[in-house]
């Protein structure tokens, strides 16, 4: 078991510093070339790998180019175009509806406020934060995906379970300048070392400060269950 630093702010700062050293090129891995493509890609990535989304969107973005294209597409046609993606039927419905709202209420432009984004079908705080950060250069929150959720609990940065509450905890301990990058660092470390199935604590640069480290700790703080 590692020993976390004296308070969560110090712990978070140390985690960021070490992960920035490990993953200097860390950034979003979804492929997109404009805000609409970003929104669609993030909506498709819920419970699906970025790799699969990138494969699927290669053709999708050739066929559908405007919010009207998605809004006017028959449900079966759009679902068929997405059929290798998890929950493709529901995602097709959400995308058609969100794009209809973008056409009707936002002059065909992807909105640039949290309130307007989360009004769109199928868009929650996580998706809205990604679109604001990478589509509009507005950083007003921290994207809490499954990797951020797991790592921050393992590292003792939060004890909350729900992503929105985890985000609130993180906003108070992570320097604002790192709000965007923190997510990408957690995703890279979660994929490379600290995965859901097998945390490779022996190869982890955070082992000495991680209270979940397998050396002595019997508990995975992400699940509160024994390793
Ligand atoms: S790999 Fe192990 S030591 Fe590293 S952050 Fe994950 S649980 Fe902690």
Q: Kindly report, residue by residue over 78-110, the tens digit of the pLDDT.
A: 999 999 999 999 999 999 999 999 999 999 999
**Ligand 1 mutation pick, 5, 209, 214, max ligand atoms within 8 A of CB:** 214
Report the C-alpha gap between 175 and 9 in whole angstroms.
Answer: 8
Mean pLDDT score, 40-45: 98
pLDDT at 218: 85
- 210 labeled binding residue: yes
pLDDT at 226: 87
pLDDT at 196: 92
Put simply, whether the predicted model's pTM sits higher than 0.75 gets the answer yes
Q: What is the pLDDT of residues 178-208, one digit of tens each?
A: 999 999 999 999 999 999 988 999 999 999 9
Mean pLDDT score, 121-136: 96
Domain boundaries, the chain: 8-26+143-226, 35-136
pLDDT at 77: 98
Is 80 exceeded by the pLDDT of residue 217?
no
pLDDT at 121: 97
- 204 labeled binding residue: yes
- Cα 203 to ligand 1 centroid, rounded to whole Å: 9
**Ligand 1 mutation pick, 194, 216, 217, max ligand atoms within 8 A of CB:** 194
Q: If pLDDT is split at 50, 70 and 90, which confidence band does 59 have?
A: very high
Is 80 exceeded by the pLDDT of residue 216?
no
Is 80 exceeded by the pLDDT of residue 143?
yes
Is the separation of the CB atoms in 206 and 155 below 8 Å? yes
Report the C-alpha gap between 19 and 186 in whole angstroms.
Answer: 8
CATH match of 8-26+143-226 with 1.10.3470.10? no
Is 126 one of the catalytic residues? yes
Mean pLDDT score, 140-148: 95
Report the C-alpha gap between 220 and 192 in whole angstroms.
Answer: 18
Mean pLDDT score, 161-187: 97
Is residue 138 classed as helix, strand or coil in its secondary structure?
Answer: coil
- Cα 32 to ligand 1 centroid, rounded to whole Å: 31
Task: Return mean pLDDT, the chain.
Answer: 96
Is the separation of the CB atoms in 112 and 138 below 8 Å? yes
Report the C-alpha gap between 130 and 39 in whole angstroms.
Answer: 8
Ligand 1 nearest atom to the CA of residue 213, by list position: 3
Mean pLDDT score, 133-153: 96
Candidate CATH numbers 1.10.1040.50, 1.10.340.30, 3.40.47.10, 2.30.30.230; the one for domain 35-136: 1.10.340.30
């Amino acid at each position: 078991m590692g020993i976390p630093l004296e308070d969560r702010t110090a712990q978070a700062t140390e985690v960021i510093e070490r992960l920035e050293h490990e993953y200097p090129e860390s950034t979003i891995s979804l492929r997109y070339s404009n805000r609409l493509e970003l929104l669609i890609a993030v909506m498709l990535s819920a419970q699906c790998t970025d790799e699969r989304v990138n494969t699927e969107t290669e053709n999708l973005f050739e066929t559908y180019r405007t919010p009207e294209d998605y809004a006017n597409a028959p449900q079966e046609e759009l679902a068929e175009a997405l059929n290798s993606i998890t929950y493709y039927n529901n995602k097709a419905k959400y995308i058609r509806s969100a794009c209809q709202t973008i056409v009707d209420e936002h002059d065909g432009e992807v909105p640039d406020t949290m309130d307007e984004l989360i009004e769109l079908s199928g868009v929650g705080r996580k998706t809205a934060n990604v679109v604001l950060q990478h589509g509009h250069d507005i950083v007003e929150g921290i994207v809490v995906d499954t990797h951020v959720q797991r790592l921050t609990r393992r590292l003792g940065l939060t004890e909350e379970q729900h992503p929105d509450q985890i985000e609130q905890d993180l906003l108070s301990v992570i320097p604002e300048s790192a709000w965007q990058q923190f997510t990408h660092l957690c995703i890279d470390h979660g994929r490379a070392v600290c995965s859901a199935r097998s945390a490779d604590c022996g190869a982890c640069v955070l082992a000495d400060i991680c209270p979940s480290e397998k050396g002595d700790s019997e508990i995975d703080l992400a699940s509160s269950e024994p390793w």
